[in-house]
Amino acid sequence: MMRKFLSVGLIIVLLGCGESPVDYNQYPAKPISIIVPYGPGGTTDVFARAFAKVVIDYLPGNAPIIVVNKPGGSSTIGITALRRAKNDGYTIAMLPTGVLEVQPHLQRVRWTLEDFRPIIGLLDIPAAINVLNNDPLQNFEQWRDATEKAPGTFMYSTSGGVGSSTHIAMQIVQEKLNIKLRWIPFEGEAASRAALLGGKIQGNFSIPNVHKGGELRPLVFVTASKPTSDLYADTPTFVELGFDYEASFPMGVIAAKGTPPQVINMLHDAFKSAMQDPQIEKLYQTYDLAPAYRSPDELDLLLQRNSELARHSLVKLGMIR
């Protein structure tokens, strides 16, 4: 009988030593971490830090939001960190969602799209094939003609590694145009831009920046979205030129699967309110980017669609079976 009482007492003690259940009526009761799967200074990092300062005004309490940079592995290191974090709403991530749509198909990660839950979509990242502003190639037609005449000589970069959504997009572009380019991958947008400015490559696939006094001039936008500057009004999109392909790079905020719905809703509402805050509106204007709000369900549907398109493209390109 004594042993029985001891066993029951031991169970009670062990249960008492475990973690207390989270009281979501008090959420957030401690700092929230936003993982950015890139190094400091890029577009995603800038947006994450700006939102971190503003979103706290639309959440109860005074808990801060901290941006944590986890670059590397074609963005997979940061996403893996989110997958391993507790699904209690205190660790989330802001990112272009291509890594979620592509990497699981390559079987290089131990997570899938289903391991995460969208919180909100914030914008669609515009991406163009860019050259230096002083490049003699003045438009898409001249560039295409040059690449057809000298296959494999035009060196370009993307901000993602092998199998990244930007890599796949440019592989599809080459297939559609029946041209061959030489790809030089970089882990981040800043490194890609530096290589182009330094003359190590001839072009890149990213956001142009001549509207901000930069040196990257677009020849064609592969995305439907463009920076809002009137400077790009006459720059065509790939679809406008008659090609049946349109890349999509939504940027959003996600949480780990199993994060309580009330926390998802609370974070969604706070980020949505922040999108209309004057400080964030000014941020969009500064970067000449248009807000593109999507609810959790809308973003989830888009990710599922993009994931299936990515799988088909990877099979067609011979990167998976």
The stretch 180-205 carries a mean pLDDT of: 88
Determine the residue type at 221.
F
Neighbours of 262 (CB within 10 A): 12
Q: Which helix (H) or strand (E) holds 183?
A: strand 182-185
Structure tokens at 94: 């802001």
Q: If pLDDT is split at 50, 70 and 90, which confidence band does 23 have?
A: low
Q: 128-232, what's its fold?
A: D-Maltodextrin-Binding Protein; domain 2 (3.40.190)
Return d(Cα 12, Cα 193) in angstroms, integer: 60
pLDDT of 14: 41
Asked, as a colleague might, if the bond just before 28 is cis with ω within 30 of 0, I would say: yes
Structure tokens at 182: 């030489």
pLDDT of 187: 65
Return d(Cα 318, Cα 314) in angstroms, integer: 6
Return d(Cα 255, Cα 105) in angstroms, integer: 20
Domain(s) labelled CATH 3.40.190.10 in the chain stretch across 128-232
pLDDT in tens, 254-290: 999 999 999 999 999 999 999 999 999 999 999 999 9
Return d(Cα 20, Cα 38) in angstroms, integer: 33
Whether 129 contacts 238, CB under 8 Å: no
Residue for token pair 């959420």: 27
- Computed over every residue of the chain, the mean pLDDT equals 90
**CATH of range 29-124+249-316; options 3.50.50.60, 3.40.309.10, 3.90.640.10, 3.40.190.150:** 3.40.190.150
Task: Kindly give the residue spans of alpha helices, DSSP state H, lying in the chain.
Answer: 2-17, 43-55, 76-84, 98-106, 140-149, 165-177, 189-197, 261-275, 278-286, 296-316
Prediction pTM value: 0.83
Determine if residue 303 is left, alpha or beta; phi over 0 gives left, psi from -120 to 50 gives alpha, anything else beta. Answer: alpha
pLDDT in tens, 114-123: 999 999 999 9
Q: Is the pLDDT assigned to residue 11 strictly greater than 90?
A: no
pLDDT in tens, 200-225: 999 999 999 999 899 999 999 999 99
